[in-house]
Amino acid sequence: PTITRREDYAPPAWRVPDISLAFALDEARTRVSAVLRVERAGSGPLVLDGDDLDLKSVSVDGRVLGEGDYTLANGNLTIPLTGDTATVETVVEIAPAANSKLMGLYASGGNLCTQCEAEGFRRVTFFPDRPDVLSRYSVELNADKARYPVLLSNGNPVAAGDLPDGRHFARWDDPFPKPCYLFAVVAGDLRALEDSFETMSGRHVKLAIWVRAADVEKCRHAMQALKDSMRWDEVHYGREYDLDVFNIVAVDDFNFGAMENKGLNIFNSKYILADAETATDADFDAVAAVVAHEYFHNWTGNRITCRDWFQLSLKEGLTVYRDQCFSADMGSPAVKRIEDVRALRAAQFQEDAGPLAHPVRPESYIEISNFYTATVYNKGAEVIRMAATLLGPENYRKGTDLYFERHDGEAATVEDWVKALEDGGGADFGQFRLWYSQAGTPTVTADLAYDPAAKSATLTLAQAVPDTPGQSQKAPMHIPLKIALFGRESGSLLGPEQLFQLRGASATMTFENVGEPPVLSINRSFSAPVNVETKRSAADFAFLSAHDDDPFARYEAMQQLMMDRLVDAVRSGGTDAAPLVEAVGRTLRNQALDHAFIGESILLPTETMIAERLVANVDPDAVHTAREGVRRALLEGVGRDTWSALYTSLSDGAYDLSPGGKGGRRLKNVALGYLFSRPDEAAVAAAEAQYTAATNMTDRIAALGLLVDTDTAARERVLQDFYDRFKGDALVLDKWFTAQALGTSEGTFEHVVALAGHRDFTIRNPNRFRSLVGALAMNQFVFHRKDGAGYRFVADSLLEVDAINPQTAARFIAPFGRWRRMEDARAGMMRAELERIVGTPGVSRDTFEMASKSLV
Ligand code: HT7
Ligand code: ZN
């Protein structure tokens, strides 16, 4: 397969300032006429990308071309134009109903919609499908009026009306030049939840979220999030919305979360629909975060787009950072930071430590869809967070203002962004740029020495950036570390927090007037995406978990305490959990902490995180046994009565979505989880009662998830009840499949295999496929069954999907990429599955790239 390299970037030879598109929409066969006004910008013929297009005609300046006047090769259309400008018209036919890749124009739930990022527009019409070709779009849609009463595209609506034969039309003009990946069309039988927004300059924008008629009421949370994000972007970045309308459409079949098409966002319905009965607190938060994310792209991605796909983090890292800050402002900043770091460690740190590691700005790819990764998104966001920390809020804002001023209407690069931050914010980011080019999670070692006679403490810091595929011998990074010392005796801060900029391979930092033995608090608020190694003892972590005033650092101390205990338990089988029990008990008793924070900090690291920490020769059975042992030690050490009392005390809170309401449910369900580490009859009865009486999905699914892993009659009752209640709601049924695939009890695997034959299971819907097979692949204990059946099942399933939807299939390779960390027998079986996948005739480029890289 062809490799695309960053260093080979060349500007386009032809620009396309304007394009008019006419769609005669039909599920089986849609006719697309495109008129492109092209202008020469370099040398060579006009090359238009195409994929799976049935070409009907081509003309240039009104003259119809014969077959000898152009070439069609590998799907692309090449026209040898001699002048500097031309009007090129193509007519093609495409088949939306047969489009199972969900890229280009496809059918979902009887409606038609598009997905063009990254390279799907070439499946709609012939065009230079690259993000640095910006065009003004004018679009005419016509379709059967009864079947597709709603016709939407980007920009503002300019005309609509009836046509003969029961058809109708709508015309849309988008005044803002955009790359073709932001193009969108929707045709369907949809209803809208409507609202409006007055922008900071007093313009009125019509807002609409389009869904099935029955789902309109489930859009209220998304609508509120949209209005909140519009205001937030005005206040925090000075960015105002720019069209007369903002439309969102929710569809059931979607490869990703959502898409920021200009003025017409298209969403996976999972990130729009929410009400108490069907969505958990986490779902509500995800809806708001994704709505905000897509809205924020209007400036970071759409008004300023990417020059090429290597610059993807320019829009994605920045937009994730913006949505993280938005969610923090709308809820609990401390809990949000903990959640974001947990997600970063679970996905990105693993990626950075494995065969698929790549820089935030990658150097090459086979299939760009494989680079919508945790590194580009989440590490990219951390890099911007570090830049903001180094600049401070005022200078960061000056930097972003300058970025918008300089590059509005352009296709920009990561370098443009960093330069604007430097010039606007007044900083030198020379070394900082390495965060974009060097892959791998740096390790920072920190050693604190105390001299009681001199009343001084010396902190010795060192950094190392690990080798990653294609990169070794890396230069030291510019790492902002927030640091504070606490007095071991007084329990208080010894001086204010400091921001230390570690730039060299090593450095020392001296603290004066340290009148008592200090305890080190480092990387507070997770100021840098690094692994920190210190010689701090269990007593130090227990101390910080009780005294640190930085919520993240406090959480982190408890997690370290837990992780050290868990690693010991795996290695030596010991379960002396006394310091941990003491720390958890103290945290539970601390009235000053909010429930959500307590719930987060007393959760044990997952089995996958423990395996990651073990680095090599991992035996997932031993990890599972060790974690279960520590869970039970916490149940018994803290006391079943204490957990029960906590559970009961939180059980009659009224349902609301306030941070307090969500926190109460979180802690209550964590407490129930501990009771289920050795479920007695009372715990099972409490969970069934909670399931039955639940007024909301958070409580219902939490109880179901625990009961699923028991061998009780209650298990069968709640599973059946859940199915009967929600079988008509696809998103909720996904939860039913997932809950069963996440079990660890005997028979879970066989049960999942049986569910793959359930009448409601289908590999054609990405959400449903992920809900069962994705959940199993995330279930470390079952995926890594000793006999290799978990590997075989996931590999077989992904190959089946690969034949119809390569993008969705390729995302299932990553769990196999951890083979080098596993004990020999499992490593061999995982490797063998990867080899089988790579050797499968007709395997997609997407899956081939991921699997072949995972073998290295
Ligand atoms: N920018 C969007 C990316 C996206 C995508 C990428 C590949 C294949 C399908 C896709 N659907 C959406 C999502 C976002 O980051 O906002
Ligand atoms: Zn995005």
CA atoms of 498 and 481, how far apart (whole Å):
8
Q: How far is residue 61's CA from residue 75's CA, in Å, rounded to a whole number?
A: 23
Cα(539)–Cα(523) distance, rounded to whole angstroms? Answer: 19
| Predicted pLDDT of residue 574 | 75
Average pLDDT over residues 738-757: 98
161 Cα to the center of ligand 1, angstroms: 33
Task: Provide the CA 272 distance to its chain's centre, in angstroms.
Answer: 15
Instruction: Outline where 522-680 has alpha helix (H).
Output: 538-547, 551-572, 578-589, 595-601, 607-614, 620-638, 640-649, 659-675
- Identify the three-state secondary structure at position 689: helix
Give the whole-angstrom CA distance, residue 575 versus residue 630. 6
> Is the minimum distance from the CB of 123 to ligand 1 under 6 angstroms?
no
- Which residues, including other chains, have CB under 8 Å from residue 372's CB and lie 6 or more apart? 118, 256, 312, 316
- Indicate if ligand 1 lies below 6 Å from the C-beta of 49: no
Cα(768)–Cα(374) distance, integer angstroms? 22
**Which pLDDT score, from 0 to 100, does residue 573 have?**
84
What is the pLDDT confidence band of residue 576, given thresholds at 50, 70 and 90? confident
Nearest Cα neighbor of 121 from 172, 45, 182 is 182
Nearest-CA residue for atom 5 of ligand 1 = 117
Strands 111-115 and 54-60, bridge-based pairing: unpaired
The string of pLDDT tens digits covering residues 276-304 is 999 999 999 999 999 999 999 999 999 99
* CA neighbor of 250 nearest in space, from 205, 306, 197, 290: 290
Helices (H), 408-510: 414-425, 434-437
Cα 96 to ligand 1 centroid, rounded to whole Å: 19
Q: Is the Cα dihedral 250, 253, 259, 263 positive or negative?
A: negative
Task: Establish how many alpha carbons lie within 13 A of residue 113's alpha carbon, considering only the half-sphere containing its beta carbon.
Answer: 29
Q: What tens digit of pLDDT does each residue of 440-468 get?
A: 999 999 999 999 999 999 999 999 999 99
Per-residue model confidence (pLDDT) at position 505: 98
From 372, 770, 850, give the residue whose CB has the most ligand 1 atoms within 8 Å, as the site to mutate: 372
Q: Residues 101, 79: contact at Cβ < 8 Å?
A: no
CA distance 523 to 784: 34
Give the mutation target among 108, 183, 256, 309 for probing the ligand 1 site: most ligand atoms within 8 A of CB: 256
The pLDDT of residue 757 is above 80: yes
Residue pLDDT, tens place only, 177-197: 999 999 999 999 999 999 999
Residue nearest to atom 11 of ligand 1 (CA): 256
Helices 393-407/220-237 angle, 10° precision: 100
E strand or H helix that includes residue 691: helix 681-693
For residue 694, give the nearest of 682, 681, 705, 679 by alpha carbon: 705
Is the beta carbon of 302 within 6 A of some atom in ligand 1? Answer: no
575 pLDDT more than 80: no
Point out which residues pair with 174 in neighbouring strands. Answer: 137
State how far the Cα of 109 lies from the Cα of 254, in Å rounded to an integer.
Answer: 11
389 lines ligand 1 (CB under 6 A): no
Q: To which residue do tokens 């429930």 refer?
A: 595
Give distance in angstroms: CA of 84 to centre of ligand 1.
34
How far apart CA 208 and CA 476 sit, in angstroms, is 49
Chain centre distance of CA 547: 33
Tokens for 513, please give them. Answer: 């007037």
Positive or negative: CA dihedral 813, 620, 464, 435? positive
CA of 292 to the centre of ligand 2 (A): 10
Cβ neighbours of residue 110 closer than 8 Å, sequence gap 6 or more: 147, 188, 189
- Please tell me if the CB atom of residue 375 comes closer than 6 angstroms to any atom of ligand 1: no
CA torsion angle 215 216 219 224 (round to 10): -170
Nearest CA to ligand 1 atom 7: 369
Per DSSP, the residues of 393-416 read HHHHHHHHHHHHHHHTTSEE-HHH
**Probe ligand 1: pick from 51, 117, 254, 262, max atoms within 8 Å of CB?**
117
525 lines ligand 1 (CB under 6 A): no
Q: Please give the model's pTM, rounded to 2 decimal places.
A: 0.99
- Distance, CA 232 to ligand 2 centroid (Å)? 17
Distance CA 270, CA 486 (A): 45
Closest CA to 319 of 354, 295, 343: 295
20 lines ligand 1 (CB under 6 A): no
429 lines ligand 1 (CB under 6 A): no
Q: Mean pLDDT in the chain? A: 98
What b/e readout covers 754-793, taking b as 16+ CB neighbours within 10 angstroms?
A: ebbeeeebebebbbbbbbbbbbbbbbbbbbbbeebebbeb
Tokens coding 221: 């949370």
Per 3-state DSSP, the chain is made up of helix, strand and coil in percentages (nearest 5) of 45, 20, 30
Q: Does the structure show a pLDDT above 70 at 570?
A: yes
CA 514 – ligand 2 centroid, Å: 46
Q: What is the pLDDT of residue 653?
A: 80
Classify residue 300 by its DSSP letter.
Answer: B
Active centre residues (catalytic)? 294
**Residue ID of nearest Cα to ligand 1 atom 1:** 259
Is residue 320 lining ligand 1, measured as CB closer than 6 Å? Answer: no
Written as six digits, the tokens of 46 are 């006009």
* 372-410 pLDDT tens trace: 999 999 999 999 999 999 999 999 999 999 999 999 999
Structure token digits, residue 463: 């950094």
Per-residue pLDDT reduced to its tens digit, 603-626: 999 999 999 999 899 999 999 999
| Residues whose CB falls within 8 Å of the CB of residue 56, separated by 6 or more in sequence, listed in order | 31, 91, 92, 93
Residues contacting 693, CB < 8 A, separation 6+: none
Number of Cα atoms under 13 Å in the Cβ half of residue 841:
0
CA 344 to each of CA 375, 529, 609: distance values in angstroms, whole numbers, following the listed order: 9, 9, 11
168 phi and psi angles, rounded to 5 deg: -145, 175
CA of 267 to the centre of ligand 1 (A): 10
Q: Is the CB of 253 under 6 A from ligand 1?
A: no
Q: What is the DSSP string of 126-187?
A: -B--STT--EEEEEEEEEETTT--EEEESSEEEEEEE-STTEEEEEEEEEEEE-GGG--EEE
